Structure 1
Amino acid sequence: MSGTDKSKAGLSLDGPIVILVEPQLGENIGMAARAMGNFALSRLRIVNPRDGWPNIAAQRAAAGADHILERVELFDTVEQAVADLDLLFATTARAHDQAKPVVGPEAAVAEISGHVATGGKAGIMFGRERWGLTNEEVGLSNRIITFPVNPGFASLNLAQAVLLIGYEWFKLMTSGELPHGMPERSERASQHQMQAFFNNLVRELDRVEFLRPAEKRDTMLVNLRNIFSRMEPTKQDMHTLHGVIMAIAEGRKGPAKGGVLDGEQATRLRALLAEHG
């Protein structure tokens, strides 16, 4: 989805390190970096990427997350990539039958937040596109992260898994604050303004005999008034609606400005143009 505002400074949050273990496709690395950028995760480690590094396909797929790719740390083994971490999570869709806590992404980022705040260093491992992490690699972790997904179709794309973690992390760190909201509306219309508009509306409806039969007129007027009351219109709304009613009324009474010329008018215009060359 487009929408990056280059006039605004991006946030920099001291979050978990993302570790991609033997990723096979450069495109997936780039899309993972893009997901990290969306949610202010900046530290990416890659273990033994199949197609080497740097990778042009990753750069193309990163869609502007070059600052993350430029700082990538490369490692030959998982053990080397996690050696300096004191809280390690392994993401997996499969049960590895290991005696360690299994948590969802929301609980994981809550623990990471407290750990990082006290000076700890946390990381999250993501496995290969085809078969994920091995039992031995999961065995290195302190916790397992799994996602609440359809059990009959549980496999996530690598970048999607990173994005889900990033989303929960950013939501926690920013208290779920949205980047923008509804523009501020003008002041609410006063009862006097509402009544003036309604009087004009009723006058025009009477001219076209809309409020019939006579015995239902009062009920119809109450229903009409309630339509506009439920809208809670602003002063600007009332100006606009008033203009609409007046435009319809004036358009019915005479020829609209800027309309198509009739035959006589067209003849006069042609004569005038011919006279002035």
Structure 2
Amino acid sequence: MDNAWTEHDIPRQHGRTALVTGANTGLGFEAARMLAEHGARVVLAVRDVEKGKQAAARIARAAPGADLTVQQLDLGSLESVREASAEIRTAHPTLDLIINNAGVAYTDRQKTKDGFDLQFGVNHLGHFALTGLLLDLLLPVPGSRVVTISSYGHKIQADIHFADPQFERSYSRAASYGQSKLANLMFTYELQRRLTEQHSTTIAVAAHPGNASTELVRYLPAFARMSITVLKPLINQSAAMGALPTLRAATDPAVRGGQYYGPSRLAETRGYPKLVSSSAKSRDKAVQQRLWALSEQLTGVTFPV
């Protein structure tokens, strides 16, 4: 039944190599764990290597014999993204799957090492650069995928602020987060268009977790954290459940490029994963292409498609 897709529906992953960003905790950890349990070789790309090693040890206990690698990656530094990409290329001649999962949400005004707005820089630009630097490792692999994690937040105060993408003039946590999550979807759709034009079997897919119990809420204002605490029994779900849309997007043979998966119940806050719809704004091809050009300019990374 479509509404009851679970981790037991993940096909065998033996022979596949998956790169998961932010894999030391929350959704990324659960995605890495389930992929490893189904036989994938998993690269845990994390900012804190020690925490990554601890996560790998936990996964190894759940999946004895799992093939796990910890890769240092700071998405807030283009230098780190380039170094990590070079190391990954040396270690892995091909990749089957990139899961662009790591992110920050509703932070105070902060900048990345390259001077980008933290949420836009980490959530979108870091993943844009990483994918561009590694995409040629996926292109020769039949059925390879790029899965990028968005959020229901792409519909809330969300726009691409081309006149001030780094929020130099004024800053709003929600607008910054909304821009980054809208960018994740626009990146997915434009990447899929380019892959389709080249008749590639690699596909780009997006997913969102609904309201999952993860560390992202640590940056929320106190009143928002209190609201989540009150509503938690109704709308929250575990990180393992929140990771299922990602895993379905990453592994379900029925998935098609350019699709978007999220929870099935209570306005997409919780439940088993299903195909969902994104905002009309996210489907604007002209804005997608303008965002792509801006992202290339800011990161200095161009794609092989």
If you compute each CA radius of gyration, which structure gives the higher value, 1 or 2?
1
- Bin of the TM-score, shorter chain as denominator length: 0.3 to 0.5
Which protein is richer in strand relative to its size? 2
TM-score by length of 1: 0.33
TM-score by length of 2: 0.31
